[in-house]
C-alpha cells in the first residue's frame, strides 16, 4: 500500500508541472524588483522637474519659495514655489548631509518648512509587494500538499468495500412485478418474513438462513428477484458484484470482504446481494503452480465471514450465478448458503404471467392473445419475453400504428429468434433450390406424427439464413422419446434429401451444413448419453465436456478405441437410416412437394395452418387414388 501511494504521488508531480511551478515561483520572486524599482520614465520626469541645492538657495533669497518639506530619510526636499497652480506637484531637491545654510535661509525669509518621513509608507509598500508574491507561493504549496494528501488517502481507501449501500432500498420492484417463477418467489418471501417478523420462526427454534444462492440460466430473473427482496424487506441493503472484490493487488479483495461485513454488522439485520458470485467463489486449487492467489484469499475471507469463529447474526447473503458447477464446495455447504433456489426458464403458465407483467405499460390491440404468444415462445426466459414485447413496440412505432398487433408480434419473434429481416430473393434457380430445401424440412415434419407441428415456412432471409422453417411444440416437453429424436433427425435431413431428389447429387449445396451439425450432435447423444443404440443403456461420455483448469487438464477418454469405433458406426447408421426414410417420404409425396414449392415461391411465406391443410388435402387425394386402383373382389 505504501508503494502504491508513492507511485500515485510521483505520478501527480510530473516534470511538466514541476517546471511550470518553478517558472511561476521565479516570476513571483521578480515582482518586488519590478514594483519596487523606479521606472525609467518616472525617473526622467523627476530629473526634469527638480532643482539643484544651489538653485533652491537662490530662489529662497529671491523670495520665490512658498513652502518646503524636508525628508531626512530620503535626503529630499519637496519645494512649493509661489505662483504654482494648486494641483502642481512639488519640485524635488536632493539635500546634503548637513543643511544648516538652507535652514537659516528659510528662517530668514520666513518660509514655511517642516520635516516629514517616508520610512513608514515605504515599509508598508514593501510589505505589500512582498505579500504579493509570498501569498500565491503559499497557495501553490498548499495545492500540491492537498493533492498529495488525496493520493495518500486514495491509497489507504483502496481496500474499502465498493458495495452500494441503501438504508431502505428503493428499487421500485416488488414481488408483484416478478412472474413466472412462483416457487422461487415463495422461497424468498420466507426470507423477507424472517427479516420482518423473526419471532414467528425463532419461537419454535428455527434460525434465520445465512445465505440463499439463486441458480439459473441468464435472463431468468435472478437479479430481479434480489431487487424484489430488497424492495419488500425494508431493511439496509448492500449490493455488489463478485468481480468488484478481486483486484491485481494481493490482499485487496479480502480487505474489501472484511470491510463489507463490518458495515453489515453495524446495520444488522440487513441484506447483502452478491451478483455473479462465481467470479470470486470458484473452486480452490484449480490453478496451476499453487493456489495462494488473490482470488483464493478473497474466497477464504468470504467463507470465514459467512460462517467462521465469530459468526454474523442478522445478515442474510443473497448470491446469484449461472455457473454453480464451478463454485467451491465449502461455499455451498449448509451454514453458508443454506438454500439453493433454482430459477429456471418459465413454463407455459409462467410465460403468460410474464407477458402480462411486461404488457402493462404497452398499448396492445385487443385482438392479440398473450396465450398464443406464450405458446409460440417455448424456452424463452423472462428477459427474452421483455425484449420480444419491446421489439414489437419499436416496430409499431416505426410503422406509425397506435397499438401493437399480431403482425408486429410475429415479426418481433422472428427477429429475436433468427435475426434482422433481409432483402427478398429474386426469382432464380437459387430461390427455387432454397424453396425445395425449406419445404423438405416442413413436409417431413408434417408427415411424421412424432414431430412438432410446423409454424411457418419462409424464403425471406433473416440473419445468415436464406430461408427458415419454424416448428412449435404443442406442449411443454420435459422428456423426449427415441421416436421423437429420430423424427427430428429425419426432418432436419429433409432439406438435403429434397435437394438430392430434385436436382441430383452433383447439385446439392452447402445449405445443409448447419443441419448436418445438428443431426450429428443429436445422433451422438442418442448413442453416448441416452443409451438409445445397439450398444445398450450406457452413458459413455460425461455430462460436462468443458475443461476445468487444473482439475480436468487432461480430458481423457472414458472408453476404449474399439468402443469409439462402434460409437461412430452407430451414429452413422442412425443418420443414414433417417436420411433414407426422408428421401422415401419425399419421393412418395412428390406432387405435394412441387405444389408447396410453387406456392412458397409465389407467396414467399406459408403459414403453418395453410401448410398442414394442403398436406392433408394431398394425403386424402392419394388415399382416394389408391382406393380406386385396388381390385374389387367378388
Q: What is the CATH number of the domain that holds 294?
A: 3.40.50.300
CATH number for the domain including 71?
A: 3.30.720.210
One domain for residues 240 and 307:
yes
The structural domain count of the chain equals 4
Whether residue 568 has pLDDT greater than 80: yes
Stretch (H or E) spanning 113:
strand 112-116
Residue 148 vs residue 330, higher pLDDT? 330
Residue 51 vs residue 398, higher pLDDT? 398
Annotated binding residues for ATP, written as ranges, equal 216-223
One domain for residues 188 and 336:
yes
Q: Identify the pLDDT of residue 145.
A: 77
C-alpha to C-alpha distance for 354 and 179, rounded to whole angstroms: 5
C-alpha to C-alpha distance for 374 and 545, rounded to whole angstroms: 33
Q: Is residue 301 part of a domain?
A: yes
What pTM does this model have? 0.66
Q: Residues 306, 211: contact at Cβ < 8 Å?
A: yes
452, 358, 360: which is closest to 412 by C-alpha? 358
- According to DSSP, the β-strands at 65-71 and 76-81 are antiparallel
Q: Identify the pLDDT of residue 541.
A: 75
Annotated binding residues for Zn(2+), written as ranges, equal 437, 441, 515
Q: Residues 61, 107: contact at Cβ < 8 Å?
A: no
**Across the beta sheet with 339-342, what order do the strands follow?**
164-166, 237-241, 270-275, 315-321, 211-215, 339-342
Which pLDDT tens digit goes with each residue over 383-425?
Answer: 999 999 999 999 999 999 999 999 999 889 888 888 777 777 7
Q: Place 574 in a pLDDT band, splitting at 50, 70 and 90.
A: very high
One domain for residues 196 and 331:
yes
Looking at residues 575-593, what average pLDDT do you find? Answer: 94
Q: Residues 256, 245: contact at Cβ < 8 Å?
A: yes
Q: Residues 192, 234: contact at Cβ < 8 Å?
A: no
Residue 581 vs residue 312, higher pLDDT? 581
Q: Place 582 in a pLDDT band, splitting at 50, 70 and 90.
A: very high
One domain for residues 411 and 298:
no
Looking at residues 163-192, what average pLDDT do you find? Answer: 76
One domain for residues 178 and 327:
yes
Q: Is residue 138 part of a domain?
A: no
Which pLDDT tens digit goes with each residue over 281-332?
Answer: 888 776 554 445 777 888 888 888 888 666 667 788 889 998 888 888 888 8
Tell me the helices (H) and strands (E) count for the chain, helix number first: 24, 13
One domain for residues 530 and 482:
yes
One domain for residues 375 and 511:
no
Annotated binding residues, written as ranges, equal 216-223, 437, 441, 515
Which pLDDT tens digit goes with each residue over 210-266?
Answer: 888 999 888 888 888 888 888 887 788 888 887 777 765 556 778 888 888 888 888
One domain for residues 216 and 337:
yes
435, 387, 429: which is closest to 412 by C-alpha? 387
Of 388, 418, 448, the residue at which a domain comes to its end is: 418
Q: Is residue 3 part of a domain?
A: no
Report H helices in 235-369.
Answer: 252-266, 294-306, 329-332, 348-358
* 615 preceded by a cis bond (ω within 30 of 0): no
Q: Is residue 188 part of a domain?
A: yes
Q: Is residue 146 part of a domain?
A: no
One domain for residues 386 and 299:
no
CA atoms within 13 A on the CB side of 16: 2
CATH number for the domain including 619?
A: 1.20.58.760
Residue 22 vs residue 513, higher pLDDT? 513
Whether residue 207 has pLDDT greater than 60: yes
369, 375, 327, 330: which is closest to 351 by C-alpha? 375
One domain for residues 191 and 332:
yes
* Domain residue limits at 450: 429-544+557-626
What 3-state class would DSSP assign to 431? Answer: helix
Catalytic residues: 438
Amino acid at each position: 500500500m505504501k508503494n502504491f501511494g508513492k507511485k500515485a504521488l510521483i505520478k501527480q508531480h510530473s516534470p511538466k508541472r514541476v517546471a511550470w511551478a518553478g517558472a511561476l515561483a521565479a516570476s513571483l520572486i521578480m515582482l518586488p524588483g519590478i514594483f519596487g524599482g523606479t521606472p525609467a520614465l518616472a525617473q526622467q520626469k523627476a530629473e526634469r522637474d527638480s532643482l539643484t541645492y544651489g538653485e533652491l538657495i537662490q530662489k529662497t533669497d529671491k523670495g520665490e519659495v512658498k513652502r518646503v518639506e524636508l525628508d531626512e530619510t530620503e535626503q529630499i526636499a519637496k519645494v512649493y514655489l509661489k505662483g504654482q497652480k494648486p494641483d502642481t506637484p512639488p519640485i524635488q531637491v536632493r539635500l546634503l548631509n548637513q543643511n544648516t545654510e538652507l535652514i537659516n535661509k528659510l528662517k530668514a525669509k520666513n518660509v514655511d518648512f517642516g520635516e516629514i518621513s517616508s520610512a513608514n509608507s515605504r515599509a508598508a509598500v514593501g510589505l505589500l509587494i512582498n505579500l504579493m508574491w509570498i501569498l500565491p507561493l503559499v497557495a501553490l504549496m498548499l495545492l500540491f500538499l492537498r493533492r498529495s494528501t488525496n493520493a495518500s488517502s486514495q491509497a489507504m481507501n483502496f481496500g474499502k468495500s465498493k458495495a452500494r449501500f441503501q438504508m431502505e432500498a428503493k428499487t421500485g420492484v416488488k414481488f408483484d412485478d416478478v412472474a413466472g417463477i412462483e416457487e422461487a418467489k415463495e422461497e424468498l418471501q420466507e426470507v423477507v418474513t424472517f427479516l420482518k417478523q423473526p419471532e414467528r420462526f425463532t419461537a419454535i427454534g428455527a434460525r434465520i438462513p445465512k445465505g440463499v444462492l439463486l441458480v439459473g440460466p441468464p435472463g431468468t430473473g435472478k437479479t430481479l428477484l434480489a431487487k424484489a427482496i430488497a424492495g419488500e424487506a425494508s431493511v439496509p441493503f448492500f449490493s455488489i458484484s463478485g468481480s468488484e472484490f478481486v483486484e491485481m493487488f494481493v490482499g485487496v479483495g479480502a480487505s474489501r470482504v472484511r470491510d463489507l461485513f463490518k458495515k453489515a454488522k453495524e446495520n444488522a439485520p440487513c441484506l447483502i446481494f452478491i451478483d455473479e458470485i462465481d467470479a470470486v467463489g470458484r473452486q480452490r486449487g484449480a490453478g496451476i503452480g499453487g493456489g495462494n492467489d488473490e482470488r483464493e484469499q478473497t474466497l477464504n475471507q468470504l467463507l470465514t465471514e459467512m460462517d467462521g469463529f465469530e459468526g454474523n447474526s442478522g445478515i442474510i447473503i443473497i448470491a446469484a450465478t449461472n455457473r454453480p458447477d464451478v463454485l467451491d464446495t465449502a461455499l455451498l455447504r449448509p451454514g453458508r448458503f443454506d438454500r439453493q433456489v433454482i430459477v429456471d426458464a418459465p413454463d407455459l403458465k409462467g410465460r403468460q404471467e410474464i407477458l402480462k407483467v411486461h404488457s402493462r405499460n404497452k398499448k396492445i390491440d385487443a385482438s392479440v392473445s398473450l396465450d398464443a404468444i406464450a405458446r409460440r415462445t417455448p424456452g424463452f426466459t423472462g428477459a427474452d419475453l421483455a425484449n420480444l414485447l419491446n421489439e414489437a413496440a419499436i416496430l409499431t412505432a416505426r410503422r406509425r400504428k397506435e397499438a401493437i398487433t399480431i403482425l408486429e408480434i410475429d415479426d418481433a419473434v422472428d427477429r429475436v429468434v433468427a435475426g434482422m429481416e433481409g432483402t427478398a430473393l429474386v426469382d432464380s434457380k437459387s430461390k427455387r433450390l432454397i424453396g425445395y430445401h425449406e419445404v423438405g424440412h416442413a413436409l417431413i415434419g408434417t408427415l411424421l406424427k412424432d414431430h412438432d407441428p410446423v409454424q411457418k415456412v419462409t424464403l425471406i432471409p433473416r440473419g445468415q439464413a436464406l430461408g427458415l422453417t419454424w416448428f412449435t411444440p404443442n406442449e411443454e416437453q420435459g422428456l423426449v422419446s427415441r421416436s421423437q429424436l429420430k423424427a427430428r433427425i429425419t426432418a432436419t435431413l429433409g432439406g438435403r434429401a429434397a435437394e438430392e431428389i430434385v436436382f441430383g447429387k452433383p447439385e446439392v449445396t452447402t445449405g445443409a451444413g448447419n443441419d448436418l451439425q445438428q443431426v450429428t450432435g443429436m445422433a451422438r447423444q442418442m448413442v453416448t448419453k441416452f443409451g438409445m443404440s445397439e450398444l445398450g443403456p450406457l452413458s459413455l461420455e460425461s455430462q460436462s465436456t468443458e475443461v476445468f483448469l487444473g482439475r480436468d487438464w487432461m480430458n481423457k477418454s472414458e472408453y476404449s478405441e474399439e468402443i469409439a469405433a462402434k460409437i461412430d458406426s452407430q451414429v452413422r447408421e442412425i443418420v443414414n437410416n433417417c436420411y433414407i426414410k426422408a428421401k422415401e417420404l419425399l419421393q412418395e409425396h412428390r406432387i405435394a412437394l412441387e405444389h408447396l414449392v410453387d406456392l412458397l415461391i409465389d407467396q414467399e411465406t406459408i403459414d403453418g395452418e395453410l401448410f398442414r391443410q394442403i398436406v392433408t388435402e394431398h394425403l386424402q387425394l392419394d388415399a382416394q387414388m389408391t382406393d380406386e386402383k385396388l381390385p374389387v373382389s367378388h
